[in-house]
Structure 1
Amino acid sequence: MAKQENLDPTTSMFAQFKEKTGPIVLANTFIVPKDKSESFLARWKMHAEFMKAQPGFVSLQMHQGTAGSQLFMNVAIWESTEDLAKALGNPQFQAMSVGVPDDIVSYAHIFEKIAVEGLCEA
């Protein structure tokens, strides 16, 4: 199973799931050894197809770092933290996650849109 780390050391993913809010953006950055990129993306596709069928799912997009980077970042939009938590806790998803190699590191964090005057709306 992939190693889970906190992107923000002051706010765990568990703490974020206690915050009942939405819509939310899940940004999940992965460090993937270069020789495992292809197998990682194949497994991610399987996970993404499962997530797309879950209640509250809105959209997702995978990104890859440039210049030979080992980073991949999935950005997914969900209607609420509750919907995301239910999907991640689904026994079928949990079973799929067991096979992810433990040399892949995941940094997941939940975000909300905010307003910045003159630039963007919440």
Structure 2
Amino acid sequence: MIMPTADVRDRGPLSPSLRSAAVRDHRHQGKDTMPITLVNSFTVPPDKEQAFLHAWHSTIDHFATAPGFLQTRLCRNTGLNDTTFRYVNVALWEDVDAYRAAFRDFTPAGQRIPGVKAYPGLFEVIVEVNGASRHLDRARQTSPSDPALPQ
């Protein structure tokens, strides 16, 4: 089993307060951007799993040092429900520009493994639920036309 690099493992989970701090810091610097979440689902043939894990760690070594990278988690499918995707990577970036800059002159190693396919998407948090309390991410209330937010 390949273990995460120290840079990734030592970051720990990004708490709502840290996410909010990232938003406040961006706004304090005059940026009107929000942290974004990359959700990247992977189909991985069983015989390519070790190569994929090695490539994923190699890619994260690059991203973990990139400006604007906040955290990532790699999740493996338990096989209890839909098994279309074997792995899902969920990463948090300060903003879209930071995410895009990390790809300049860099191709993730997993894209070079035959049979491995990635399905990335960029998302923004609009509702966050922690434990028994449900609350809206107050930082997203900048768009009064958003029907998911109270007026």
| TM-score of the superposed pair, with normalisation by structure 1 | 0.72
Residue 81 of structure 1: aligned partner: 96
Paired residue for 1:41? 53
Structure 1 120/85 Cα, relative in aligned 2: closer, same or farther at 3 Å? same
Partner of 1:29: 41
Aligned-residue CA RMSD in angstroms? 2.4
Letter in 2 for 1:105: K
Structure 2: runs of 5+ lacking an equivalent:
1-31, 138-151
Deviation at 1:121, TM superposition (A): 2.7
Q: What is the TM-score when the length of structure 2 is the normalising length? A: 0.59
> Are the aligned partners of 1:114 and 1:120 in contact in 2 as well (CA < 8 Å)?
no
Matched, 1:106 2:121: no
Identity %: 28
Deviations 1:72-117 (A, max 9, x none): 000000000000001012x1x22x5486223111110011111379
Q: For the pair shown, which has the larger CA radius of gyration, 1 or 2?
A: 2
1:54 alignment partner in structure 2: 66
Q: Distance in 1 between matches of 2:135 and 2:52?
A: 34
- Once the two structures are TM-superposed, the CA of residue 120 in structure 1 deviates from its matched residue by 3.1
Give, in angstroms, the shift of residue 119 of structure 1: 1.6
CA pair 120-50 structure 1, distance change in 2 beyond 3 A: same
Conserved 8 A contact 2:71-2:91? yes
Q: Distance in 1 between matches of 2:101 and 2:128?
A: 31
- Aligned pair count? 100
Structure 1: runs of 5 or more not aligned: 1-19
Q: Secondary structure at the match of 1:103?
A: coil
- Work out which structure has the larger RCO, using CA pairs closer than 8 Å and 6 or more positions apart in sequence: 1
Instruction: Report the equivalent of 1:15.
Output: none
